[in-house]
Amino acid sequence: MSMNGSKYDVVVIGAGPAGYPASIRAAQNGLTVACIDEWKNKDGSHSYGGTCLNAGCIPSKALLESSELYFRSRSEFKEHGVVIDKVGLDLGAMQARKGSIVRQLTRGIEALLKSNGVEAIRGHGRLIDGTTVEVTDTEGKQKVVHGDNIILATGSMPMVLPEAPLHSNLVVDSWGALEFEEVPERLGVIGSGVVGLELGSVWQRLGSKVVILEALGDFLPMVDLDVAQETHRHLKGQGLDIRLGAEVTGTTISENNVTVTYTVDGESHNLEVDRLVVCVGRRPFTDSLFGENAGVELDNQGFICVDSSCRTAVPTVWAVGDVVRGPMLAHKGTEEGVMVADLIAGKFSEVSYKIIPSVIYTSPEVSWVGQTEAEVKASGIAYKVGTFPFLANGRAKSMDQSKGLVKLIAAQDDDGILGVHIVGPLAGELIAEAVLAMEFSASAEDLQRTMHAHPTLTEALHEAALSADGNAIHMINN
Ligand code: FAD
Ligand code: NAI
């Protein structure tokens, strides 16, 4: 292998939501860019977009949307006066629709890279030194490429659980659970995190009896307690059987089912299911990424160590997305990728790490930004809380989606918004207003004085801001 490879201003390893926007922005900044990606679909084909487009955000949201329509058409349409004689399920068509959305979007990424003049290279990238990457293509042929700067955006992989190793299509990870060809009669899920709740909801709506085993005693501990409790109540009401404090001790595979053994408070239990999904978190992916002299450091959990600008210990090497500290979210990776591409081009850029929105796409949806009430309390500052239930929101009532609430926390002294927490219809869309407000350092009063269209769900956020000062209009006991 010759070391005289092609030379670029920037070489990006990974074309997920962190790597491909970094590549595009670097090209927009007038730099020459190569983006190396090795994603392999289940049929062996390649496509761009990483986990998010191929096996994460997009396919899961496609199935969440379809399963929600199926569920609502069976349970709620009658109340709207929409009478359908018989609602049937064509899972093949549902999966085909999901596949088509993924194909359209991943091809879109390929087209975007091309139209921006990014050289897209399929293969495995390995960092040899601060400016050199070795690329191994699918046939095993190797070449080197050079970059004045290199961006590592290699993403993450599901964590394995030694007590529940994956087994063909019986014990699967999140990707496997997006691909079921039949609705399992009994579905076990290990982990009541974001994947467990979203994919558990999909299959529960389509008819599975779903049991979720969660090791921790608390439900969604990262979510504000009021919102977590409200969410728990509604998900339980839908039939999701969430067993907290459940420690999985082993699995036994039979021909067509799996028995999970677990303990709660030291007492042993068995759970027999037809399919089991293991979703206990993800780990940063750096397998075969570094040559001996790469010089990049990892922390004790395997994340690439970076500073607040995403620069590694090697000044010409940067790392962004799931492979570095912070929440494993597509939009967080994208902002980091864009920031780094701008910094390399000599522009000013930074990521607002304290204002990262999170969304869980259950029904009702959950979203939040900023600090929880417990975090604010622990920080010792004086604060006030405003809440407003969707039950009193006209748009939510007319949609028949009036479960949930908005909670806003603001500082007592300067009225600055510290956190907004929502469980309710389209919470993932509603949080955008709170994110923008916090980006602009808005106060609760700024939201109170902002006109919100009527009737919209956004009025619930307006009312929560008013309620922080005891002034909500549509609330009996402010
Ligand atoms: P990835 O998307 O993992 O992309 C990394 C890419 O790099 C891959 O294509 C990989 O093949 C490639 N690669 C790795 N190593 C090499 C190498 N050495 N050489 C060449 N290529 C390499 N996040 C959200 O914000 N919203 C959601 O709704 C959401 N839903 C999700 C649902 C599921 C089921 C899952 C599993 C995840 C979900 N996520 C969601 C998380 C989101 O997918 C990740 O945060 C995001 O994909 C991380 O982006 P990334 O670019 O860092 O890494
Ligand atoms: P997670 O970290 O959200 O949840 C994992 C859960 O498994 C935790 O509640 C944990 O306590 C539990 N757990 C760990 N070990 C266990 C064990 N041995 N037995 C039982 N429970 C155990 O991880 P998840 O759900 O796998 O998702 C991975 C990542 O993907 C998340 O970090 C998330 O940010 C991202 N994601 C984001 C989505 C979104 O933004 N809507 C959707 C899906 C995933």
Got the DSSP string for 143-175?
Answer: EEEEEEEEEE---EEEPP-TTS--BTTTEE-HH
Cα 34 to ligand 1 centre (Å): 19
pLDDT tens per residue across span 111-170? 999 999 999 999 999 999 999 999 999 899 999 999 999 999 999 999 999 999 999 999
Average pLDDT, integer, range 227-255 = 97
Pairing of strands 275-278, 186-190: parallel
Closest ligand to the CA of 51: 1
pLDDT over 70 at 73, yes or no? yes
pLDDT of the residue at 186: 98
Nearest residue (CA) to ligand 2, atom 34: 328
Average pLDDT, integer, range 105-110 = 98
pLDDT over 70 at 196, yes or no? yes
The helix (H) or strand (E) run that includes residue 410 is strand 405-411
Q: DSSP state, 249? A: E
Cα 371 to ligand 1 centre (Å): 26
pLDDT over 90 at 478, yes or no? no
CB 118 within 8 A of CB 235: no
Ligand 2 site, residue 329, Cβ cutoff 6 A: yes
pLDDT over 70 at 72, yes or no? yes
Residue to probe by mutation, ligand 1, list 13, 45, 51, 122, most atoms within 8 Å of CB? 51
Closest ligand to the CA of 194: 2
Average pLDDT, the chain: 97
Nearest residue (CA) to ligand 2, atom 9: 193
Ligand 1 site, residue 57, Cβ cutoff 6 A: yes
pLDDT of the residue at 233: 98
Q: Using 50, 70 and 90 to split pLDDT, how confident is the model at 3?
A: low
pLDDT of the residue at 2: 54
Pairing of strands 417-424, 405-411: antiparallel
Q: Strands, E, within 337-404: which ranges?
A: 358-360, 365-370, 383-389
Q: What are phi and psi of 2, to 5 degrees?
A: -80, 145
pLDDT over 80 at 59, yes or no? yes
Nearest residue (CA) to ligand 2, atom 2: 281
Cα 194 to ligand 2 centre (Å): 5
**Count of beta carbons in the 10 Å neighbourhood of residue 229:** 13
Catalytic residues: 454
Average pLDDT, integer, range 182-202 = 98
Helices (runs of H) and strands (runs of E) counted in the chain: 14, 22
Closest ligand to the CA of 17: 1
Residues in the chain: 478
Nearest residue (CA) to ligand 1, atom 36: 56
Q: Using 50, 70 and 90 to split pLDDT, how confident is the model at 287?
A: very high
Cα 16 to ligand 1 centre (Å): 5
pLDDT of the residue at 404: 98
Average pLDDT, integer, range 405-421 = 98
pLDDT of the residue at 441: 98
Ligand 2 atom index nearest CA of 358: 40
pLDDT tens per residue across span 147-160? 999 999 999 999 99
pLDDT tens per residue across span 463-474? 999 999 999 999
The three-class DSSP label of residue 424 is strand
pLDDT tens per residue across span 318-336? 999 999 999 999 999 999 9
Per the DSSP assignment, residues forming a β-bridge with 406 are: 388, 422
Q: Cα dihedral angle (227, 243, 171, 60), rounded to 10 degrees?
A: -20
pLDDT tens per residue across span 367-399? 999 999 999 999 999 999 999 999 999 999 999
The helix (H) or strand (E) run that includes residue 211 is strand 209-213
Closest CA to 13 of 111, 128, 100: 128
Closest CA to 341 of 74, 25, 17: 25
Nearest residue (CA) to ligand 1, atom 30: 57
**Residue 215, exposed/middle/buried by CB under 10 A (0-12, 13-18, 19+)?**
middle
CB 7 within 8 A of CB 145: yes
Closest CA to 271 of 200, 212, 323: 212
Ligand 1 atom index nearest CA of 323: 52
CB 260 within 8 A of CB 213: yes
Closest CA to 67 of 100, 89, 51: 89
Pairing of strands 383-389, 405-411: antiparallel
pLDDT over 60 at 305, yes or no? yes
Ligand 1 site, residue 34, Cβ cutoff 6 A: no
Q: What are phi and psi of 149, to 5 degrees?
A: -130, 145
Ligand 2 site, residue 191, Cβ cutoff 6 A: yes
Identity of residue 70: Y
157-163, long-range: CB within 8 Å, 24+ apart, which pairs?
A: 157/282, 157/283, 157/285, 158/278, 158/279, 158/281, 158/282, 158/283, 159/280, 159/281, 159/282, 159/283, 160/278, 161/190, 161/248, 161/278, 161/280, 163/248, 163/249, 163/250, 163/251
Ligand 2 atom index nearest CA of 197: 25
Exposure string of 357-380, with b = 16+ CB inside 10 Å and e = fewer, is bbbbbbbbbbbbbbbbbeebeeee
Average pLDDT, integer, range 98-115 = 98
Cα 372 to ligand 1 centre (Å): 27
Nearest residue (CA) to ligand 1, atom 46: 330
Cα 284 to ligand 1 centre (Å): 10
**Residue 292, exposed/middle/buried by CB under 10 A (0-12, 13-18, 19+)?**
exposed
Ligand 2 site, residue 193, Cβ cutoff 6 A: yes
CA distances from 20 to 261, 346, 438 (A): 42, 20, 27
Cα 196 to ligand 2 centre (Å): 7
Residue to probe by mutation, ligand 2, list 159, 161, 175, 194, most atoms within 8 Å of CB? 194
Helix axes 194-205, 57-75, angle to 10 degrees: 40
Ligand 1 site, residue 365, Cβ cutoff 6 A: no
Ligand 2 site, residue 213, Cβ cutoff 6 A: yes
DSSP string, 281-329: -EEE--TT-B-TT----B-TTSPBP--TT-B-SSTTEEE-GGGSSS---
CB 121 within 8 A of CB 110: no
Alpha-carbon gap, residue 232 to 129, rounded angstroms: 49
pLDDT over 60 at 185, yes or no? yes
Ligand 1 site, residue 36, Cβ cutoff 6 A: yes
**Residue 45, exposed/middle/buried by CB under 10 A (0-12, 13-18, 19+)?**
exposed
Rg (CA), the chain: 24
Average pLDDT, integer, range 177-193 = 98
Nearest residue (CA) to ligand 2, atom 3: 193
pLDDT of the residue at 476: 84
Cα 3 to ligand 2 centre (Å): 42
